[in-house]
Structure 1
Amino acid sequence: MSDTDRSLLDTLRALEVELHHPGVRCSAERLSQLLHPDFHEVGRSGRQYDRDTIIRWLADDHEPPKIVPDEFRIAPLAPDAALLTYRSAHRQEDGSLAHHTLRSSLWLKTAEGWQMRYHQGTAAAQAW
Structure 2
Amino acid sequence: MDQTSLLSILRELECELHKPQCRGDRERLAQLLAPDFREFGRSGASYTRNDMLARLSLETEAPQIHAQDFAVQELADSVVLLTYRSAHRSLSGELHRHTNRSSIWRLNLTGWQMVFHQGTPTEPFD
TM range (shorter): over 0.9
Matched with 1:32 is 30
The Cα shift of 1:79 comes to: 2.7
Distance 1:92 1:119 in 2: 23
The Cα shift of 1:77 comes to: 1.5
Q: What aligned pairs does 1:1-128 form with structure 2 within 5 A after superposition? A: 4-124=2-122, 126-128=123-125
Distance 1:88 1:23 in 2: 19
The Cα shift of 1:51 comes to: 0.5
Which structure 1 segments of 5+ residues have no match?
none
The Cα shift of 1:92 comes to: 0.9
RMSD: 0.9
1:50-75 Cα deviation digits (max 9, x unpaired): 10010111111131000000000000
Q: Which runs of 4+ in 1 moved over 4 A?
A: none
Amino acid at match of 1:111: L
Distance 1:108 1:90 in 2: 26
The Cα shift of 1:78 comes to: 2.1
What is the total number of aligned residue pairs between the two structures? 125
SS at match of 1:14: helix
TM-score for the superposition, normalised by structure 1: 0.95
SS at match of 2:2: helix
